[in-house]
Amino acid sequence: MSEPQARVERGALVGAAFLMATSAIGPGFLTQTAVFTGELGASFGFAILASIAIDLVAQLAIWRTILAAGRPAQDVANSAVPGLGTLLALLVAFGGLAFNIGNLAGAGLGLEALAGIDPRLGAALSAGFAVMLFLSREAGRAMDRVAQALGALMLALMAWVAWSSAPPVGQALVRSVVPERIDPLSIVTIVGGTVGGYITFAGAHRLLDCGARGASVVAQATRSAVLGIGVASAMRALLFLAALGVVVGGGKIAGESNPAAAVFESASGASGRRLFGLVMWSAAITSVVGSAYTSVSFIRTLRPALAGATRPMLLAFVGLSAAVFLAVGKPVAVLVLAGALNGLILPLGLAAMLLASRRSVHALPRALEVLGWLVTLAMSALGVITLSRELPKLWAS
């Protein structure tokens, strides 16, 4: 649809929100939350609140700018600084591919816990599921429905596990505002896991594909972005409470080879492992779909010939991710480098959107613009620190 759309269908708005949210809720999301809760206890709630604030600033600024311009992020970035969008597209595509390998590994582990399937076979079956989804006649609608169904399932299961662990909710609320310990690394890590790399752009690009564009849809896009952050934040909070209940009850998370699985097993007994497997697979497969979709939405604008090859590129993206995982098993070096670069994608993309917004007929509110630049500066500094620390490890490995 080339004409500006005055109103977006509710299904598209909800679908875009859940695509972003379920892209953020991946295997790393589950592991990071469990690990930091085990280390920080109730004080990790402060990091969650801080990350939610940062997420809101980044998502609102980026979604509003993209939808007002009516063009994908890489084109908007190129209009602000020639060549910047191409760099952004390459970084997002590389990061998305590398993390998709990890997402398929997580899907394999999920099916192993759920049904005793070998992780490699589970990863291959999960890749096949993603391929079938993209081959369906209405792939976009199918993708939206899968994201919404599995997102709702994860929230329901996580709520049950949180209730079963009987967490000290009052203590969690107090320490979320007055923490005993603040760990900047935990904030940076979970921000990167929630809006880093391709995740920030997933929902906005989905709305563009649904025909939403122009200043008239910005208000609706804003509500969609808030819904997406809300879903991801609710999942994070529920997992935090579940893990906190385990820690306070004397359970062990820190030092466990699979911290998230330990939370489920401690909270839900014998059935906990299967519940973990179902949540892990749901988180991983929705991230596989979101990563492939968003990465290809960047790649297809690099050359005119690629514009009409979206479906073949989606299939190739998933296939390549699966092939690398099956051949290498655990591509740690690639994942480490991608994780370091991922810390730079958010400030790069956000800065580009902020610059482009100044030239737009629908400029960002001044307060959001100022907050956006603060987030850009903070995440740039922390991203450089992370990159400088991880690169020597990569070369030494």
- pLDDT of res. 12: 82
Q: Does 64 score more than 80 pLDDT? A: yes
Q: Establish if 164 belongs to a structural domain.
A: yes
Q: Is 383 exposed, middle or buried (0-12, 13-18, 19+ CB in 10 A)?
A: buried
* Beta carbons of 62 and 349 less than 8 angstroms apart: yes
Average confidence (pLDDT) over 43-64: 90
Q: Establish if 110 belongs to a structural domain.
A: yes
Torsion sign over Cα 395, 397, 27, 100: positive
Q: Does 338 score more than 60 pLDDT? A: no
- pLDDT of res. 395: 60
Distance of CA 80 to the CA centre of its chain: 25
Residue 3's pLDDT band (cuts 50, 70, 90): very low
Q: Establish if 385 belongs to a structural domain.
A: no
Residue 199 structural domain: 10-325
Q: Establish if 202 belongs to a structural domain.
A: yes
Q: Establish if 303 belongs to a structural domain.
A: yes
* Beta carbons of 29 and 194 less than 8 angstroms apart: yes
What pLDDT digit, counting tens, does each position of 273-290 carry? Answer: 889 899 999 998 998 999
Which residues are within 8 A (CB) of 377 and not within 5 positions of it... i.e. 6 or more apart? 347
Q: Does 386 score more than 70 pLDDT? A: no
Q: Which residue has the tokens 């929902």?
A: 203
Torsion sign over Cα 37, 39, 45, 48: negative
Give the CATH number for residue 164. 1.10.4160.10
- The span from the CA of 269 to the CA of 264, in Å, is 8
Q: Which residue has the tokens 């630049």?
A: 373
Q: Establish if 19 belongs to a structural domain.
A: yes
- Kindly state the tokens that stand for 30: 């589950």
Q: Does 235 score more than 60 pLDDT? A: yes
Q: Establish if 361 belongs to a structural domain.
A: no
- pLDDT of res. 156: 92
Domain count, the chain: 1
Higher pLDDT, 225 or 4: 225
Nearest to 321 by CA among 123, 169, 172, 164: 123
* pTM, to two decimals: 0.86
What pLDDT digit, counting tens, does each position of 140-175 carry? Answer: 888 889 999 999 999 998 999 889 888 999 999 999
Q: Establish if 245 belongs to a structural domain.
A: yes
